[in-house]
Structures are given as structure tokens and as C-alpha cells.
Structure 1
Amino acid sequence: MRRSLSYLILPGWRGSPEEHWQSHWQRCLPNAARVEQEDWERPEPSNWIAALDKAVGALQTPAILVAHSLGCITVARWAAQATRPLLERVRGALLVAPADVERPTCHELLRGFAPIVREPLPFPSLVVASDNDPAASAPRALQLAQDWGAHATLLSGVGHINVDSGHHQWEQGFAHLYRLQRQIERLERRCL
């Protein structure tokens, strides 16, 4: 992209430890910052949305959101209620392994994020999901992508795309980020 970009990293429940790909990306990507939550263990939707609101408000450059799991659900909730000036600071969102907080097996601490906001996101988005993710079935992840107006990529056998499923640096994930960035560039050229 011609203009300088920021990357806002949004981890899911319990945050992303040092060996998680989001932590690696935060160290590698220029102008990357993490949306910190007061309580990673007992997530409260209003607090998580407020933290994202504050982080976007502090941006000096346009940003791409890089969310994982519960972070994806937070992005959808935030986008449905954020002000237009804040939404305009976000160029797009990479939504990796969104957590289905409506599934019967969802942990009790995450159920406060239900119901999942199903409104189309007001910026280009790409959902990257797995066909064997315990946090969301493949059909559910694809339905969320459709509801959010996002492009979708379904990977085979990669679990929840986290440390437990062997995704530490997840260099392959950069291809999805670059694909999203190319999509954003095409849209911006069309608007010129």
C-alpha cells in the first residue's frame, strides 16, 4: 500500500502467548500493536469492545485488524456500534478461526459474546477457518463469513490455528494478509 499502515492485533480468550503466531506477527509487521484487555481470563464484551474502540481511536495511520478466535467476534460487535470516524480508520480485517460462542460446547465464560453479530462489516474482510476447528464447525465459520460480507478461505486439518494446533509463526498466514491487502488496494483504486 502507498500509505503507511498499522496493524492492530486482537487475540482471543486468554490472549496470545509469546509463541503464538499473533505475537510473532506483532514483532514482524511494521507499526503493529496489540489491543490489550484488562482481563484475558474473564472476557466481558463491553470491556473488549471499549479496548478496541480506544486502540482504533489512538491510531495515527489507517489500520488492518488481525483478529483470532474471540477477537473476531469482538470485531463484529465493535463494527456494529462504532462511530463512523472510527470505522473509517480501519481499512480491513483478517479474521482467523472465529469462535462460535453460540455452540452448545462453548465455554461458559465466553457465552456473554452471544448472540454473534451478523451484520456485514463496513470494511473488506477475509475469514480464514479450518475444517477441524473445535471452536467452530466449517459450515458455521463459512456462514459467519457470508453474514459479515467477508471472503472466506477454508484450510484443511489445521485446528484452531493456534499454538495447540502447531501454529507458532504461521508464515503461511502472511499470504492471507497480503491477499486482503491486495483486495483493499483494488477497492481503493476503484474509488479514486
Structure 2
Amino acid sequence: MSSAQHTQSELLRAARRHFAERGYQGASLARISSESGVSKQALLHHFKTKDQLYRAVLDQLNQELVQLLFAAMEETEQAELQIERVFVALSGFFLKQRSAPALLIGVLIDGPGQAAVADDLRPPVQDFLEPLAALIQATERWRDAGFAAALSIAMELLGVVCLLPAARCNLSYRFGKDPVDQGAGLAPAHTRDLVRSVVRR
């Protein structure tokens, strides 16, 4: 990895955490650059604007989610089993990558920033959401329900697997670390049960 690639990687790592914790509006380029050990001018050399940096963070997240989605789909042809594998994998991924659920919730609720919705760019996480909804439509239960219903189910299930990891720090503060950690350990099994109840007849 070259020095420039290393710097970009460090900037993306810090930016990911700041955007997840503070949202697009609250994230500061000065703090991101300081945490990365570079000047703000150096950050702007790699990413010309805050929007461009945010878009790079969301593109990275989209790639991770797409890889996870298609890896989970490879192991079986039955759509119902694929959906289970996808959401169990997402549950584990979100518990390990603590910035990911907050970033996903943020982009779904608040939007992607100004530059990221330019006419020549696909909306962030679109490459993940479209095949996820299509996979739900491929199940016997949701086959005739249409895209809107499948997207609604996808959003509900994403909410389930995103909320605990995104709220983990606050929950630990309120209820203690041990019960929250125990709940996190149960999350994949609970996710599997919930997905089964939603996608199977």
C-alpha cells in the first residue's frame, strides 16, 4: 500500500466513525483530519469536499454490504434460506462493525449529502437495497406482493438488525454492559427466527 493509499484509508476510517457518531452535519473535517494525523489541507487533497468524503464512506459501506449479500446468497438456491443467511450475516457484521448500522440508518433517514445525489451518481447503498428487495420478492410468500411490499419488508428487517448495534453504547449505559452483551450474543439466533416468521408462509 502506497503512502497516499494509506492516508486515504486512515481518512476513511476516521470519517466513517465521525459520520456514524455525529451524522453528516455534525462531522467535522478538522477533527477527521486531526484524528488521521494529517492537516485539513491534506484531507482536501484526497477528498475535495465533505460531500465527496461522505460519498466515499458510503461507497465503501455499500461495497461491504453487497459482498456480504452475495456471499450469503451463494450457499443455497432457495430464496427463503438466502434471506435468513443474509440477515444473520448482517446481524454479525453490524455487531462487529459498529459504525456500519449508524451509517446505514443515517443515509436512509437523512440522505446522502448534496454532491452524492448528483445526476450521474447512483444513490448510496442502492446496489445493496435493490437486490435485497428482489430477493424478498423471490420468496414464495412475497412473490406476488410487488416491489413496494418487498422494500417495506427489507426496511423492517434492516431496522431490526441495525438498532441494537447502533444503540449498544447507550443501552450499556442504561442497563449495564453484561445484559447488552448477552443480548448481542443472542441476536443472530433471534434474527433467524424473526426472518423465518416474516418470509415463510
TM-score (norm 2): 0.30
In terms of fraction of residues, the more helix-rich structure is 2
In terms of fraction of residues, the more strand-rich structure is 1
Q: More relative contact order in 1 or in 2 (CA 8 Å, sep 6+)?
A: 2
